[in-house]
């Protein structure tokens, strides 16, 4: 079953971006497996630390906990599938599994961006209204915002997925390492006007709407920093740096993914195209727990205390 102009009943897709690297596949498998293990261990450890320590049951750390859960969710939507494909000689995926992966990866991206948007608003309240912060942003409000973000993304994306599933396809070769919605739409030989219109509408809703509160929050934060004391600037820098780095990294990852999927990248070396396609799903889950764990002093000190306690317990048992 290949790409052609005749409508087909597609039961599986062929992933065409995998390189024939012979025995190097085992090295790639080990590196990918190690990355996944590090992501799982780092994010799970911080989730456990935040959940177990009641002193961390504050809005900022609840948002971080939800962010780490999303990193696990997105990574699990990609890495097990990627590991199987690396060891496989025939890079195929069944249609139901392909659409399931599309759902996981796309909702992961939506949740990530909306979560960073909510976190920017939280930082705005903490820096611009420090005396009123505990009344304006309570733990209950943070939990409600977290639930709304997850529900909104899980309810919104099935419409996009349904519009793609109903298309008549004239091929089944996806030129990528994993399934994406736009890659499936490009295979269609039926009318895709509804898909394109809803895609533009969904992009505006998912990107430009969250962008306004982010810009508003950081404009107000910058104004307070420039007019405030040195202590205020230091507080803003320490609390906003991890969020800003995470937001910029996420934006770069989205940009790479758009370039990879929407434009002809045949002139770019295959290895670089593979790196760009995986950047979005590897760097963010790896970077966030390390960056927030190191930058947030309260979280860092509790992690040190837990680690020290485990080391002492291990020595006493020996």
Each residue's pLDDT tens digit, 135-169:
999 999 999 999 999 999 999 888 989 999 988 88
- Mean per-residue pLDDT, 69-85: 93
For residue 1, the Cα-to-chain-centroid distance in whole angstroms is 33
The residue-averaged pLDDT of 87-96 equals 88
Phi, psi angle pair for 94, to nearest 5°: -65, 155
Q: What is the DSSP letter of 56?
A: G
Share of the chain above pLDDT 90, in %: 29
Read off the pLDDT of residues 180-223 as tens digits, 9 standing for 90 and up.
888 888 888 888 888 888 888 887 788 788 888 888 888 888 88
Could you give the percent of the chain with pLDDT greater than 70? 87
CATH topology of domain 12-317: Rhopdopsin 7-helix transmembrane proteins (1.20.1070)
Tokens of 61: 């750390």
Q: What is the pLDDT of residue 67?
A: 94
Place of tokens 């680690």: 307
Confidence of residue 310 (pLDDT cuts 50, 70, 90): low
Q: Higher model confidence: residue 69 or residue 244?
A: 69
CB 281 within 8 A of CB 74: yes
pLDDT of res. 63 = 93
* CA separation for the pair 83, 31 (Å, rounded): 10
In the DSSP assignment, the letter for residue 168 is: P
| Residue pair 283/245 in contact by the 8 Å Cβ criterion | no
- The reported pLDDT for the residue numbered 71 is 94
What is the rounded CA–CA span in Å between residue 4 and residue 172? Answer: 9
Q: What is the residue extent of each domain of the chain? A: 12-317
Mean pLDDT of 12-34: 86
Interior/surface letters 240-263, b for 16+ CB within 10 angstroms, e for the rest: bebbbebbebbeebbebbeebbee
Q: What is the pTM of this model?
A: 0.87
């Amino acid at each position: 079953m290949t790409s052609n102009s005749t409508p087909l009943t597609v039961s599986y897709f062929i992933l065409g971006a995998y390189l024939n690297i012979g025995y190097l596949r085992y090295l790639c498998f080990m590196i990918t497996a190690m990355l996944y293990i590090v992501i799982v261990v780092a994010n799970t450890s911080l989730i456990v630390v935040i959940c177990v320590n009641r002193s961390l049951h504050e809005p900022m750390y609840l948002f971080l906990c939800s962010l780490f859960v999303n990193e696990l969710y997105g990574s699990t939507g990609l890495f097990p599938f990627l590991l199987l494909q690396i060891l496989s000689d025939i890079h195929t995926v069944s249609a139901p599994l392909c659409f399931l992966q599309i759902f996981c990866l796309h909702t992961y991206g939506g949740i990530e961006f909306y979560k960073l948007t909510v976190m920017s608003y939280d930082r705005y309240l903490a820096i611009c209204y420090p005396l009123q912060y505990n009344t304006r942003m309570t733990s209950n409000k943070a939990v409600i915002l977290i639930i709304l973000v997850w529900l909104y993304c899980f309810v919104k994306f099935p419409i996009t997925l349904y519009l793609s599933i109903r298309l008549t396809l004239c091929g089944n070769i996806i030129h990528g390492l994993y399934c994406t919605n736009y890659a499936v739409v490009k295979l269609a030989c039926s009318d895709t006007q509804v898909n394109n219109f809803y895609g533009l509408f969904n992009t505006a809703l998912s990107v430009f709407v969250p962008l306004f509160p982010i810009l508003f929050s950081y404009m107000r934060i910058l104004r307070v920093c420039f007019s405030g004391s040195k202590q205020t600037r230091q507080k803003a820098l320490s609390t906003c740096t991890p969020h800003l780095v995470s937001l910029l990294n996420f934006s770069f990852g989205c940009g790479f993914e758009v370039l990879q999927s929407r434009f002809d990248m045949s002139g770019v070396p295959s290895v670089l195209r593979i790196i760009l396609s995986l950047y979005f799903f590897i760097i963010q889950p790896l970077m966030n727990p390390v960056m927030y764990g190191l930058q947030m002093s309260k979280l860092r000190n509790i992690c040190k205390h837990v680690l020290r306690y485990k080391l002492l317990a291990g020595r006493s048992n020996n």
